[in-house]
């Protein structure tokens, strides 16, 4: 049986806080062997000092950007959809002004997989049990409206459940099926954490089968380079093809 609940009692996090100790105090008496903690990336960013002045937002987006995927004008300015340093394609490179003090913005953690590993080791040592950690962030989705939480960091848990070689309920061989369970854990946790509840950590119980100390982190979920089938936005791809055709016509 799958059970998911949010952890109460976590205070506002500031740079330099011992996040493992704070989460551990809030979770004391509630964790069991095989549990997975889903932790909102914002509190990781705050503890790691990934806070900037709101006035520096556009420069922060530029600094976090590896390549621009698409830009769209709107009444309030320009939205930039970019690939950030973590390989994640997101609006504004994941730079966010929500759930942070007025006048500040948050950058994503510098290395969410490493942060997840550090938290897991500290909490496993404190409680003497085996845990998984998933660090979550809210992302939009191509071709679908709205946002959902996804895994941007992970440790001790498989984020991809490769079912290739097994059979479905009808006995048919599965060849490429691989549920992104890291993202599913993040989305399930968000249902109980919410966006304005001040409860940035949730416990997911019932998925101990996914625990694996040797599993790759959440970065393994990101399509980059030759596996990226959607490298550009539609307008940008059309313009690039059009310009290439003109150059070819001119014999360049």
Please report, for the domain that includes residue 157, its CATH number.
Answer: 3.30.1330.100
Q: Is residue 125 part of a domain?
A: yes
Q: Is the pLDDT of residue 156 over 80?
A: yes
Percent of the chain with pLDDT over 70: 94
Mean pLDDT of 232-238: 80
**194 backbone φψ class: left, alpha, beta (φ>0; ψ -120 to 50):** left
Total domains in the chain come to 1
Residue of 160, 149, 126 lying closest to 42 (CA atoms)? 149
Residue 241 counted as domain residue: no
Tokens read off for 19: 């996040």
| pLDDT value, residue 163 | 64
Question: What does the pLDDT look like over 46-63, one tens digit per residue?
Answer: 999 999 999 999 999 999
* Tokens (6 digits) for 202: 């949730």
> Nearest 5°: phi and psi at 151?
-85, 125
Tokens (6 digits) for 46 = 């705050």
In a domain, 217, yes or no: yes
Q: Which residues pair with 96 in a beta bridge?
A: 106
Is 165 within the bounds of a domain? yes
Asked whether residue 176 carries a pLDDT value surpassing 70, the answer given is no
- The pLDDT value recorded for residue 26 is 97
Mean pLDDT, the chain, integer: 90
Residue 249 has pLDDT above 90, yes or no: no
Q: What would the pLDDT profile of 81-135 be if each residue is shown by its tens digit?
A: 999 999 999 999 999 988 888 999 999 999 999 999 999 999 999 999 999 999 9
Tell me whether residue 33 is in a domain: yes
The mean pLDDT of 9-21, rounded to a whole number, is 96
CA–CA gap between residue 104 and residue 116 (Å, rounded) = 24
Question: Residue 216 CB: number of other CB atoms within 10 A?
Answer: 14
* Residue 159 predicted with pLDDT over 80: yes
Are residues 4 and 192 in contact, defined by beta-carbon separation less than 8 angstroms?
yes
Tell me if 88 is assigned to some domain.
no
Q: Which residues constitute the domain of residue 33? A: 3-49+109-221
What element of type H or E holds 39?
strand 36-40
Q: What number of residues does the chain have?
A: 252
| pLDDT tens digits for range 184-196 | 999 999 999 977 6
- Of residues 26 and 176, more confidence is placed in 26
239 domain-assigned: no
DSSP-derived letter for residue 185 is H
Query: Is 181 part of any domain?
Result: yes
């Amino acid at each position: 049986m799958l059970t998911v609940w949010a952890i109460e009692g976590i205070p506002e996090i500031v740079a330099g806080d011992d996040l493992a100790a704070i989460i551990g105090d809030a979770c004391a008496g509630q964790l069991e062997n095989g549990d997975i903690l889903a932790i909102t990336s914002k509190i990781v960013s705050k503890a790691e000092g990934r806070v900037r002045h709101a006035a520096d937002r556009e420069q922060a987006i530029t600094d976090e950007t590896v390549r621009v995927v698409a830009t769209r004008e709107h009444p309030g300015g320009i939205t930039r959809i970019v690939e950030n340093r973590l390989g994640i394609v997101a609006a504004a490179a994941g730079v966010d002004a929500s759930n942070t003090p007025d006048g500040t913005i948050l950058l994503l953690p510098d290395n969410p997989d490493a942060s997840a590993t550090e938290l897991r080791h500290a909490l496993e040592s404190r409680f003497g049990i085996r845990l998984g950690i998933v660090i979550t962030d809210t992302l939009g989705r191509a071709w679908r409206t709205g946002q959902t939480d996804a895994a941007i960091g992970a440790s001790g848990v498989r984020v991809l459940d490769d079912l290739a070689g097994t059979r479905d309920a009808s006995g048919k061989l599965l060849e490429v099926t691989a549920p992104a369970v890291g993202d599913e854990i993040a989305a399930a946790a968000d249902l109980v954490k919410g966006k304005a509840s001040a409860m940035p950590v949730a416990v997911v119980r019932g998925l101990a089968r996914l625990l694996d100390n040797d599993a790759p982190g959440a970065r393994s979920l990101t399509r980059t380079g030759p596996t990226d089938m959607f490298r550009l936005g539609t307008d940008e791809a059309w313009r690039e093809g059009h310009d290439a055709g003109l150059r070819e016509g001119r014999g360049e």
